[in-house]
Amino acid sequence: MIRLLLRDMALAVRAGGGFGLGLAFFLIVVVLVPFAVGPETAVLARIAPGVLWLGALLACLLSLDRIFALDWEDGSLDLIATAPLPLEGVVAAKAAAHWLTTGLPLTLAAPVLGVFLNLPAEGYGWLLLALAAGTPALSMIGAFGAALTVGLRRGGLLLSLLVLPLYVPTLIFGAEVARRGAEGLALATPLAMLGGITAGTLALLPFAAAAALRVNLR
């Protein structure tokens, strides 16, 4: 699993499939929002948590189709499937590699980009915590969607349509944690829900994604 994880991270960095592309897209979204809604600092501060979470979510979508597609195209996915490592472990390693090359950089960049949206000072820590707790779920759900669509021609659009509805609960509770933290409100409930969603996806979706891969590889 460690070798597969390091391999996928190296491929993502070399091919530009996650690291640079996601950060660039995230930066573009955050920079363009003030031009669209106006320069009023009060308005920007109110919408900042939701905009930052939405930007991070959309940036994660850009590299989801690469989780299994490259291995499918060069035939290495068949070899990985016959290796001693169970497919559930393969899915977990690839989701972890996606998070380390996409989700983690977006999480670390979000507080910096929050300056452009006048995010209140009290919200920076909670935004970082919310993204750190929620982005692993985005990567795991994305790996599940990529397993369902692997081998399909032009499967990128279908993958986005499949995972976006599944992303909605994470988006709602993640943005709510950041918003309540910025406003100094109680946030135990949305934080617990966000953590529960992430824990549930990490526990269940590797098995569902592995089952989808077995079907597609037959």
Q: Does residue 67 surpass a pLDDT of 70?
A: yes
Q: How large is the angle between the packed helices 155-183 and 123-149, nearest 10 degrees?
A: 160
At 20 the pLDDT is 80
Single-letter code of the amino acid located at 18: G
Residues 41-62: pLDDT tens digits? 889 999 999 999 999 999 998 8
Q: Considering the chain, what is the average pLDDT of its residues?
A: 89
Q: Does residue 18 surpass a pLDDT of 80?
A: no
Q: How large is the angle between the packed helices 104-113 and 123-149, nearest 10 degrees?
A: 140
At 155 the pLDDT is 67
At 17 the pLDDT is 53
At 49 the pLDDT is 93
User: How much of the chain, in percent, has pLDDT values that exceed 90?
Assistant: 56
Distance of alpha carbon 37 from alpha carbon 30, whole angstroms: 11
Give the tokens for residue 13: 């960095």
At 80 the pLDDT is 85
Residue burial 47-78, b: 16+ Cβ < 10 Å; e: rest = bbbbbbbbbbbbbbbbbbbbbbbbbbeeeebe
Higher pLDDT, 90 or 66: 90
Residues 144-201: pLDDT tens digits? 999 998 877 766 788 888 899 999 999 999 999 999 999 989 999 999 999 999 999 9
